[in-house]
Structure 1
């Protein structure tokens, strides 16, 4: 880049040139550009670039005013350059200010009219050049510059390293400078260094210096979805820059990069017409949602209705979507809700958007047009229908029917022929409703023009069409329906489109008459054929339809060629929900997929694995030892086999879990398999709503003036579930029909959110004082997602309905201790004991607890670890391990001050001591089993030991026998199990080798099947914990 700063502030170099002449030269060129970069370019381009001729270089410099040609129009490249010309070139190259009104030299003709004076004065003022005779002030502007002098000036200006050894014919004073120029490649070693430098030589040097000073970005290209920018430089080179973070689409961003040791900054824009996000969602009627993207999207993913979920609140199930239609410009998708929910009887209006209530559309897995981004986004909108439906078009279908198309979806309930009049006369007509906005009326018409009057037709918001008349012309139709197109969806579905609405089809088949569809559906001018096991061929097919009849009674048989498109798209997860269900509080995961799935694959429980935050299988009543659900997963009713319901039981700990789903197959003719996918599940988010703790600001309840209410979820502070509303907090005194209720305060300003999950209510009601055993009753409070806190009770209690959105908790004093959640203390190993508290803790100390056993003594924990949610405390016993066979272990807090507390300073108290459940699983002790042959027979005994005493729970000769739990191979022989004998922790299995000669006592494989975790045929003797499966060699 060009340096336009004050040159007189730079350092000077003094150069003695030929004849003792002294020149003062400033290293201004090394300031003007990076010396290493400039010279490397100078060497390689100025004297090695054959692509640009000297004349072209001259022309380029002339255009910039750096050089002038001679009066005859020539460049004079062969001429020697003069000192005046050299002064001008340096002035122009370095951007020096031309100086006028000053004459520093006394040369003849050195006057203001001399063209060279402003340039000579500029280089003199900059200290770059001096007169040849300083005392007489003679500049000698017509004098020549030798090659040695030019090389010396440029070498010093470019700060080239002067070599110690030289090999050139330059004068002694210039040898080092000339050698540097030769080594750098911009001078020929055989040049006449004593000779004058030509204008051509100066043009070459000036061209390179100018190029280096004006090096810039000529253009750029953004690729790889904004991750890579390739800059085209003005010297013709390209610089590829890979960014740490991809550019934001259609936004100007400054990018920094280095080129030839020089820093550059350039503003670039990743310009794309492909969508990056959803701009908006809207609904001008209650059956259609318009989703607008900020660019174009991929048609296949955009028109997959499974990629959208519409909910009017977090408390509602999603609306069923019939179709997703992409606009011609590929930027807008119109979602059409299904006519009615699958479980709603015909005639009932259902599955509509809520008018004037906030609603959400969740967009999932929609790809943009160039497949550089997958859009997943949740957008809020408020449906508002203020426009009455209109008759958009009336079309005669011959002389026996006519079709009416409305401007929006209409309700077909109670529609009769009385809604329509032809030529101001009542008609007798049979009506066919084609969802969402078409009515086909069958009635006889005369040829010619008719007037249709429509009345009392309603849309789904209840707005009625304004009685209107539309004219149409009926002409006789004698032609049978003709096929417009036919498209396949995999090998099992064909959609045939006709040139007019079809009333009936008597038969259909593909290729041969035996390949018939299992279902034929007619909707307007489309006929959909669904095939079963006998499907289309993989290549070309011929579709035959017989008895295709239109509304004029014209019938014909048609055939049409169609090329199969095999469905090779894997199913993917669209969305998931995790919640509690029923009075038992089972934890349910609902996973929605992009395609219908095969029933056989979703029923395979091994396709689902649940693990906790530590990556371990949780101990839960709904899971086996492998983390698979015990209950068989099933489809959600009326979900089109796209939503799976998985039950994990009711006792998952308040923790974060990961569900890995794999192996599921779709219903395509050649089934596609789901790639393994992991879904994060949070019990805290799924759990029923609960008031964890309600306490006053005083240790004595009756003295309380503030009530603190802690919930198990973060609370909403706006919307319908706003927790900062006074009417939602009432004190209940007593029970049943004699209970009395008091509102704590009438003022919303008395409700304060003191943490994400805790409310403080200031009592303003002077009509009552708080008492022990009073309850706080909280109603219709929502979490931050807008979902009401649900108590999980859907039943009636006595004669009073139990509202599922009402929560209760007894009010206690501030110093009331935090207690254990019921039946939550368990020892999971000899070194670990877990317990769950009713409210989250903020601090935990091992010294606050002690474990005691009458049989084994006292155990002191070595560490205390809180779970992420603060409710589960794990005590570690690394110093003295817990006995694995205990039956009487108890845990308690020590007397005195307890430092394990919640955020508000409330301490934990376990007194009296709580019983500890022994859930320590017995395992194989890890030592190699012993195999012994019984005499010389084919019978062998296999003996191994377990970590706890175990027992055999086989009853009689039941099929559920412990003998069926083992698979034992001795050498190369399989075996049959004859008996299982258990004494304490010693297990002896007697087997018979099926191939006696191949059996071995030293090479064997002993396996106990994991199914024992469910059958529990072998358990420990103290708690019934199943012996863990293993494989020993």
Structure 2
């Protein structure tokens, strides 16, 4: 080694250290700290390393240790020269390049050439001496071999050279190579004479680099919905950091952490394509509601309008935006109500999936629809010389948009007619010349009753001589086809596919899109179909026959149950099973596909369930005159006891042409028996002699008087007369008050509103809760003009008993008020529950014919009253309904002793379920095959095999019939256990 003083870099300061020993001390301090880092020779690419050689090269290049080729590539498969290796060593070991010196005699080697400073540095440090020390030839352009690299490693680490060797290296290198092999730095199978490639050098350099430097963050992975970030360091170690505040999707955030005494500050962006949350719901008019997500959502579920619900509102469509991040809901043109105006309302979102299916949204969002903008004309398009199209900025009222007098061209009235397409497009048919024109629009009104901002719009008219051309065609399963044209379509004469007999069952034109439906045996085939459209006409009356070929995309997604909701209605527990898509009617009506179990895992055997299977056939949910084919209702008979149940659902197919069958699911069902809050009745007090008018509203239980659900807020009450929606005058009116826990009084000045105006009106109540936080769904009930309490119903429960129901809390009952046909009765104790009072009367005789019950009447001025002192209303004739259970008269053997007939005293219906009917002969059970209605009042039980009815003790029974209701009369009354001896 040379004995020269030499510069090395330490902490970015240039130091002068004299002599070879000091230089080697510095090098060894670096090398010894990384002694085993060079084990790459045993496994060139570190098989357990998370980083590739390319990634390591990129890191080293960023640090200036490596330089890529001029074309930007790393050239990892190429071999490396001795001069290049010298440069890498200098950068890695912190040596200082020596300028203005050329110790070697290589051709083209000079102090001004790029290799010289690095070659001189490693030579001065004693790390590399050159190929020929006598002639001073370094061979900087020659390739470095594995054995030459081994010598450098052994020299840097000051390893002991063994006396015995077993390798095929050159004689001078055998000791160095053996030392490297013994230290585990070189695999004995490596050829020492081979040239080292750049990949091998990158691995060596990277190992040295890591030992000397704080490892950089190579990558990161955001986990657990942005709550955790896992960093991968350059040395392949992983650091998991839990954040106090979760990351926001697609927003760069600084994350700080400490690891191995190194402090890190990294910019982290949680890149989210699929939506993770609902960002908000907004409505700037009363017909459209927009749901915004923070990422993309699944088209099929997002555009299913059944997955969105606002009480009292029917949605016609759900349209997903082009970026798949927002859904616009359009209220149906014939919806009973628009969006609630300027008051809080709730949107229920169910079954909407994000784009990768990792999340299903099920939330209730509060929104307030506020329309403060005038409608505007956003587009006017000439449709040839016979029509033009006007597009408005929001939904507008059809009667105003279709009024031809609201449009003028070039300042002149138009002679023609208007075809309005809900929600916001008007097609005006009129003769119009080629050229530029000015359209003036006024008088068109939106659903906030704002008129369109008067505007003059320039538009151009050109001659149109070409019939509409097909732009695209797409299908939904095998039944629905959408054909898009290059211009607005006025009409289509006929549509069919394959043959003229397979005509479309429905043709709907929406501007330039024609929507077709083919049902039944007219459905499309699985392969390519040709759609024929005859007489496709535009608004210039250009007409042509068009055809389009399409191969249907089948629906192959299985339905799943997303939720089970439980409510109590009419003294029954109602479970609503919500599926992810529409399901097959035949499948849901099969009782075997639903099994209810209690918290112990036992099948439920009463309250309308037999071996866990519902006695009442499950059915689609029908609400607001709409059938929801993705919601199935299972109704018990009587309330199920409160508790935790499981509902097993299986074998349900969707409504796809080739039905997809769900995988079996087990759902947890919580039964609380808490019914929704309801309005029992409302009435206006017209007898008041002071200056105020009173409206009393009675709920079915005590209501909240504070918080969001308070009933004492006048803004939660309004009324509807005819089709007009009105709010109560509040300027001079106090807030509502309580008359008792469940009755609210609204006080209104007579000068602001009259009783006559309220007669025949309906009271509308929203967002009122009971004391347990159960909210009233929007209620609309008639406002009675009398305080008298109506009798709700009367039902005979036995031949000498009648239960009378009143809408109110009746506390005083006079038996002398009531007549039951010609019979009188004695009133029992009034029982008040859930807004209704029941009173059982025991009659002084029996009904002669339970199938022809008499009327309930009262005296002219009844004295029975409620807890507010209101008398009940006079009853002129209320039909007493049949609540009397049918009776079995006898059972007899018939038709070769394979059947048993059970005769009842009135007409009945029968619902056969396995194990409901039992037949015993001589103490042994005979297997029952089925049960049907043989005649009006006879149930016929079919047996698996004949029996001998002459044997004493033959009996037929229907145990627990009252709970299961396998046999009922026409009013649904069920006898208790049926148990009859069989007659021959």
**TM-score if structure 1 supplies the norm length?**
0.53
Structure 1's 783 and 640: CA in aligned 2 closer, same or farther, altered over 3 A? same
1:384 Cα deviation (Å)? 1.0
Distance 1:324 1:64 in 2: 62
1:388 Cα deviation (Å)? 0.9
Structure 1's 454 and 253: CA in aligned 2 closer, same or farther, altered over 3 A? closer
Distance 1:605 1:47 in 2: 65
Aligned residue in 1 for 2:924? 943
1:574 Cα deviation (Å)? 5.8
1:643 Cα deviation (Å)? 3.5
| Long gaps (5+) in structure 1 | 5-20, 86-144, 156-165, 170-177, 190-202, 342-349, 692-710, 734-739, 744-778, 811-820, 825-921, 931-939, 947-951, 968-974, 990-1007, 1018-1022, 1028-1033
The alignment status of 1:398 with 2:381, answered yes or no, reads no
**What is the number of residues matched between the two proteins?**
671
Equivalent residue of 2:587, what SS?
helix
- Indicate if the aligned counterparts of 1:690 and 1:807 stay in contact, CA closer than 8 A: no
Q: Note the alpha carbon deviations across 1:725-773, whole angstroms, 9 max, x for none.
A: 996544499xxxxxx9999xxxxxxxxxxxxxxxxxxxxxxxxxxxxxx
Aligned residue in 1 for 2:393? 407
Distance 1:386 1:427 in 2: 31
The alignment status of 1:63 with 2:91, answered yes or no, reads yes
Equivalent residue of 1:306, what SS?
helix
- Indicate if the aligned counterparts of 1:782 and 1:789 stay in contact, CA closer than 8 A: no
Distance 1:453 1:962 in 2: 78
How large is the RMSD of aligned CA atoms in angstroms?
6.0
Aligned residue in 2 for 1:41? 37
1:229 Cα deviation (Å)? 7.9
Structure 1's 628 and 785: CA in aligned 2 closer, same or farther, altered over 3 A? same
Distance 2:210 2:374 in 1: 70
Structure 1's 53 and 418: CA in aligned 2 closer, same or farther, altered over 3 A? same
Distance 2:156 2:487 in 1: 93
Match of 2:473 among 481, 486, 491: 486
- Indicate if the aligned counterparts of 2:290 and 2:329 stay in contact, CA closer than 8 A: yes
Aligned residue in 1 for 2:295? 295
Distance 1:606 1:188 in 2: 68
Q: State how 1:135-214 maps to structure 2 within 5 Å.
A: 151=158, 184-185=183-184, 211-214=210-213
Structure 1's 207 and 243: CA in aligned 2 closer, same or farther, altered over 3 A? closer
Aligned residue in 1 for 2:441? 454
Aligned residue in 2 for 1:882? none
Equivalent residue of 1:75, what SS?
helix
1:649 Cα deviation (Å)? 3.1
Structure 1's 685 and 443: CA in aligned 2 closer, same or farther, altered over 3 A? farther
The alignment status of 1:495 with 2:482, answered yes or no, reads yes
Aligned residue in 1 for 2:420? 433
1:361 Cα deviation (Å)? 3.1
Distance 1:945 1:783 in 2: 55
- Indicate if the aligned counterparts of 1:516 and 1:531 stay in contact, CA closer than 8 A: yes
Aligned residue in 1 for 2:57? none
Distance 2:554 2:84 in 1: 62
1:226 Cα deviation (Å)? 7.2
- Indicate if the aligned counterparts of 1:58 and 1:67 stay in contact, CA closer than 8 A: no
Aligned residue in 2 for 1:379? 365
The alignment status of 1:320 with 2:314, answered yes or no, reads yes
Distance 1:407 1:473 in 2: 20
Structure 1's 212 and 281: CA in aligned 2 closer, same or farther, altered over 3 A? same
Aligned residue in 2 for 1:219? 218
1:412 Cα deviation (Å)? 0.9
Aligned residue in 2 for 1:524? 511
1:531 Cα deviation (Å)? 0.9
1:572 Cα deviation (Å)? 4.1
Equivalent residue of 2:473, what SS?
strand
Distance 1:560 1:206 in 2: 64
1:592 Cα deviation (Å)? 4.4
Aligned residue in 2 for 1:615? 601
Aligned residue in 2 for 1:624? 610
Q: Note the alpha carbon deviations across 1:694-751, whole angstroms, 9 max, x for none.
A: xxxxxxxxxxxxxxxxx99997952243699996544499xxxxxx9999xxxxxxxx
Equivalent residue of 1:560, what SS?
strand
Aligned residue in 2 for 1:280? 280
- Indicate if the aligned counterparts of 1:721 and 1:786 stay in contact, CA closer than 8 A: no
1:254 Cα deviation (Å)? 6.4
1:276 Cα deviation (Å)? 1.9
Distance 1:979 1:436 in 2: 73
1:1013 Cα deviation (Å)? 5.9
Structure 1's 68 and 664: CA in aligned 2 closer, same or farther, altered over 3 A? same
Q: State how 1:524-923 maps to structure 2 within 5 Å.
A: 524-532=511-519, 533-573=521-561, 577-581=565-569, 584-618=570-604, 620-636=606-622, 637-639=625-627, 641-684=629-672, 686-689=674-677, 718-721=707-710, 729-731=738-740, 780-782=768-770, 787-788=775-776, 799-800=788-789
Structure 1's 664 and 809: CA in aligned 2 closer, same or farther, altered over 3 A? farther
**TM-score if structure 2 supplies the norm length?**
0.56
1:515 Cα deviation (Å)? 1.4
Distance 1:188 1:517 in 2: 76
Distance 2:586 2:187 in 1: 84
Aligned residue in 2 for 1:937? none
1:293 Cα deviation (Å)? 1.9
- Indicate if the aligned counterparts of 2:153 and 2:180 stay in contact, CA closer than 8 A: no
1:364 Cα deviation (Å)? 3.5
The alignment status of 1:419 with 2:406, answered yes or no, reads yes
1:787 Cα deviation (Å)? 0.9
Distance 1:801 1:1010 in 2: 34
Aligned residue in 1 for 2:493? 506
- Indicate if the aligned counterparts of 2:789 and 2:808 stay in contact, CA closer than 8 A: no
Q: Note the alpha carbon deviations across 1:351-383, whole angstroms, 9 max, x for none.
A: 411121123333334444455444444333211
| Long gaps (5+) in structure 2 | 1-9, 12-20, 46-75, 103-116, 130-151, 166-176, 189-201, 680-699, 715-734, 747-766, 793-804, 812-829, 834-913, 969-974, 980-984
Distance 1:792 1:629 in 2: 33
Aligned residue in 2 for 1:900? none
Equivalent residue of 2:522, what SS?
coil
Q: Note the alpha carbon deviations across 1:573-606, whole angstroms, 9 max, x for none.
A: 466543333xx33333344444433332332233
Equivalent residue of 1:600, what SS?
helix
Equivalent residue of 2:629, what SS?
coil
Structure 1's 241 and 567: CA in aligned 2 closer, same or farther, altered over 3 A? same
1:470 Cα deviation (Å)? 2.9
- Which piece of structure 1 moves more, 952-961 or 434-443? 952-961
1:288 Cα deviation (Å)? 1.2
Q: Note the alpha carbon deviations across 1:234-254, whole angstroms, 9 max, x for none.
A: 35x586989999987557596
Q: Note the alpha carbon deviations across 1:119-159, whole angstroms, 9 max, x for none.
A: xxxxxxxxxxxxxxxxxxxxxxxxxx99999758x99xxxx
1:565 Cα deviation (Å)? 1.6
Q: State how 1:216-255 maps to structure 2 within 5 Å.
A: 216-220=215-219, 222=221, 233-234=233-234, 249-250=249-250
Structure 1's 187 and 394: CA in aligned 2 closer, same or farther, altered over 3 A? closer
Structure 1's 306 and 678: CA in aligned 2 closer, same or farther, altered over 3 A? farther
Distance 2:437 2:205 in 1: 88
Distance 1:953 1:336 in 2: 48
Match of 1:334 among 328, 346, 354: 328
Distance 1:360 1:625 in 2: 39
1:322 Cα deviation (Å)? 2.1
- Indicate if the aligned counterparts of 1:421 and 1:454 stay in contact, CA closer than 8 A: yes
- Indicate if the aligned counterparts of 1:400 and 1:552 stay in contact, CA closer than 8 A: yes
1:451 Cα deviation (Å)? 3.5
